[in-house]
Amino acid sequence: MTWQDTVEQTVTGLGFDLVDLERSAGGLLRVTIDWPWAPSVPGQDVPEEKFVTVEDCEKITRQLQYLLEVENVDYRRLEVGSPGIDRPLKKEVDYVRFEGQMVDITLKAPIGVTGSDISANRKKFRGTLERAADGVQWQIVWSDAPEPKPGQRVSKKRPPAPLQA
């Protein structure tokens, strides 16, 4: 069993979800945790969303320090934290959880499409996460219209139709 599997098994065993696991060349081992999310069921009360506390991170840290020492994993520093506002969407349940929310996407390389409405050098997009028409894939619906500045009058013109990625 790899050290990644061991960390994931420990985190899930303590009742948390492993959001991200990162190991840098400098010996830093970064573990990002969150409480498991359950979709709301129609007709029932919406479950209260839990947030990761410092005590939760401390509990995971103590358990992982012991485990990593037993497994003889070489690291210099261990960081355990919550995903915060910049949470990555990696699993299908993450997309379902944040459906309809505003998301930011940064590509590693520009799209490079010329002759379309998108700049060939564009790498950053902000839009609403929605399920595609096929019901399987996901899409980001965005508009290139600039955000109105505070105190600026908004035009009565109809806004342009949103673009889809």
Could you tell me which residue, 164 or 111, shows the higher pLDDT?
Answer: 111
> What tens digit of pLDDT does each residue of 53-99 get?
999 999 999 999 999 999 888 889 999 999 988 888 888 888 888 88
Bridge partners of residue 138, in order along the sequence: 131
Give the Cα separation of 24 and 28 in Å (integer): 5
For 35, the token pair is 């409480």
Distances (CA, A) of 69 to 73, 86, 99, 114: 6, 30, 40, 53
> What tens digit of pLDDT does each residue of 6-41 get?
999 999 999 999 999 999 888 899 999 999 887 776
**Domains (range + CATH), the chain:** 3-86 (3.30.300), 99-165 (no CATH)
